[in-house]
Amino acid sequence: MSSFHHELIRRNPGEPEFHQATLEVLETLAPVLAARPEIAAAKLVERICEPERQIMFRVPWQDDAGEIHINRGFRVEFNSALGPYKGGLRFHPSVNLGIVKFLGFEQIFKNALTGLNIGGGKGGSDFDPHGRSDAEVMRFCQSFMTELHRHLGEHTDVPAGDIGVGGREIGFMFGQYRRITNRWEAGILTGKGLQWGGSHARTEATGYGNVLFTAEMLKQRGEDLDGQQVTVSGSGNVAIYTIEKAQALGANVLTCSDSGGYIVDEKGIDLALLKEIKEVERGRISEYAERRGASATYVPGGSVWDVPADVALPSATQNELDGDAARTLVRAGVKAVSEGANMPATPEAVTVLREAGVAFGPGKAANAGGVATSALEMRQNSGRESWTFERAEGELAEIMRGIHATCFETAERYGAPGDYVVGANIAGFERVADAMLEQGLI
Ligand code: GLU
């Protein structure tokens, strides 16, 4: 296996996040490969690490002053054994092929764990929406979709949002798709507006799902979220709805953050104020402390993981919680850490937390609620239905309980009780591998 990963690094140079994400999965597969020689013989690990298709394209657009910009667009269609490629689009200056491949690779297993029929893909651009006007964002989205549209289809590839892509961007992209194709095809994107094919609870789903997954992990240990001190990083869509659900379950959420620093609010985060600043004004969290009063402090720079907590929910971005941060959390007595973002804990952090016996929810399992609710949106679209919030949220809760049970039972079956990393990787892998075995050499 290590010689294969060596070869993978050689063939995919300059993509450290992709190397990290693949190694983390490969390291846990030994027991399933030993138990199932037909999987090794069919070279399924090697096949799954190679994307089915990778698309890169030019995205030219003009800013409000008339200046021309050229960004790069990506869509990596990684695996469609279980269903159409499914996964978000990320607009952030850090986006490159390696980042999109790491996200697409994770998405394969995450989507498999939901138990629904969705394959894995991811895309995006190195476009930076920060500080851009609505008109600039619209022109960018239209240019991006002008190329991407030819690759989409409800049975082929169905993107959604991720960092930098929310309801506004999905709207602009859907409008351009419709205009180019002259077809009102709800099923080509998820995360749509509620009046035109979107699903209730999709906006909330990733954060809500991670909190539900955390509650299931705590329940295994005879605890719940009521009265727990919780720290959350980030202040985007995932962080906001993580805070909302954690508060609803009785937790005291102390923190949020952005790339400039973090907020500690001893009275608990005022979610209405945070939503106003982030969702309406699209501002910075430093403003939160200015407007909240004495209970809140803004700490520029620094690490949000320095704040002692019972439960830590990293909800910002990859590799935001390193080995030192994990040790700090363990010293402060953290009981559970669960990944709302994709791969926020570094490999060293994961080792520290697992060795300390902390309940650790890997993103593939813990943050799968977003994409699962996207699949519910696809189901509503194909039946021309529109479910109530209660129904969509109820199905989400059921799916999260199912993912937790699958990971828990799989870890036990493979001799690693309580290890959700092993459980998630093996259960996700086996479902995809079995589908590929049955479908021939693909
Ligand atoms: N970007 C989200 C994720 O990381 C959601 C993808 C989707 O809904 O297709 O899973």
Count up the domains in the chain and report the number. 2
Domain that holds residue 65: 2-185
Is 162 near ligand 1, meaning CB less than 6 Å away?
A: yes
pLDDT tens sequence across 120-179: 999 999 999 999 999 999 999 999 999 999 999 999 999 999 999 999 999 999 999 999
- Told to judge if 122 belongs to the known catalytic residues of this protein, a careful annotator would answer yes
Distance CA 270, CA 339 (A): 22
Ligand 1, atom 8, residue with closest C-alpha: 371
Residues 19 and 87 reside in one and the same domain? yes
Q: Dig out the tokens for 7 from the structure.
A: 């070869």
Mutate to test the pocket of ligand 1, among 90, 113, 152, 162 (most ligand atoms within 8 A of CB): 162
Put simply, whether the predicted model's pTM sits higher than 0.75 gets the answer: yes
Distance CA 217, CA 209 (A): 12
Q: How far is the CA of 208 from the centre of ligand 1 (A)?
A: 14
Residues 228 and 174 reside in one and the same domain? no
pLDDT tens sequence across 348-397: 999 999 999 999 999 999 999 999 999 999 999 999 999 999 999 999 99
Distance CA 285, CA 298 (A): 8
Question: Does pLDDT of 1 surpass 80?
Answer: no
**Among residues of the chain, what percentage have pLDDT more than 90?**
100
Question: Does pLDDT of 67 surpass 90?
Answer: yes
Contact 295/319 with Cβ under 8 angstroms?
A: no
The rounded Cα 417 to chain-centroid distance in angstroms is 25
Residues 11 and 155 reside in one and the same domain? yes
Contact 392/381 with Cβ under 8 angstroms?
A: no
Is 188 near ligand 1, meaning CB less than 6 Å away?
A: no
| Cα separation values, 217 from 92, 336, 403, 404, 427, Å | 32, 8, 11, 8, 17
Q: Say if 406 falls within a structural domain.
A: no
One-letter amino acid identity for 372? A
Pairing of strands 229-232, 119-125: unpaired
351: domain CATH number? 3.40.50.720
Residues 181 and 212 reside in one and the same domain? no
Residues 125 and 67 reside in one and the same domain? yes
Is 86 near ligand 1, meaning CB less than 6 Å away?
A: yes
- For helices 97-113 and 389-413, angle between their N-to-C axes, nearest 10 degrees: 90
State the Rg of the chain over Cα.
21
Residues 7 and 124 reside in one and the same domain? yes
141: domain CATH number? 3.40.50.10860
Sequence-distant (≥ 6) Cβ neighbours of residue 370 within 8 angstroms = 88, 160, 202, 205, 206, 209, 238
Q: Dig out the tokens for 212 from the structure.
A: 């539900």
Q: Dig out the tokens for 12 from the structure.
A: 């995919």
Rounded mean pLDDT of 183-203?
A: 98
Instruction: Match 């907020």 to its residue by tokens.
Output: 263
| Ligand 1 atom nearest to CA at 342 | 4
Of the candidates 122, 192, 245, 364, the residue annotated as catalytic is: 122
Residues 127 and 229 reside in one and the same domain? no
Is 111 near ligand 1, meaning CB less than 6 Å away?
A: no
Residues 239 and 166 reside in one and the same domain? no
Residues 213 and 124 reside in one and the same domain? no
Is 190 near ligand 1, meaning CB less than 6 Å away?
A: yes
| Ligand 1 atom nearest to CA at 90 | 1
Mutate to test the pocket of ligand 1, among 364, 371, 378 (most ligand atoms within 8 A of CB): 371
Q: How far is the CA of 372 from the centre of ligand 1 (A)?
A: 8
Residues 154 and 276 reside in one and the same domain? no
User: What is the model's pLDDT at position 2?
Assistant: 84
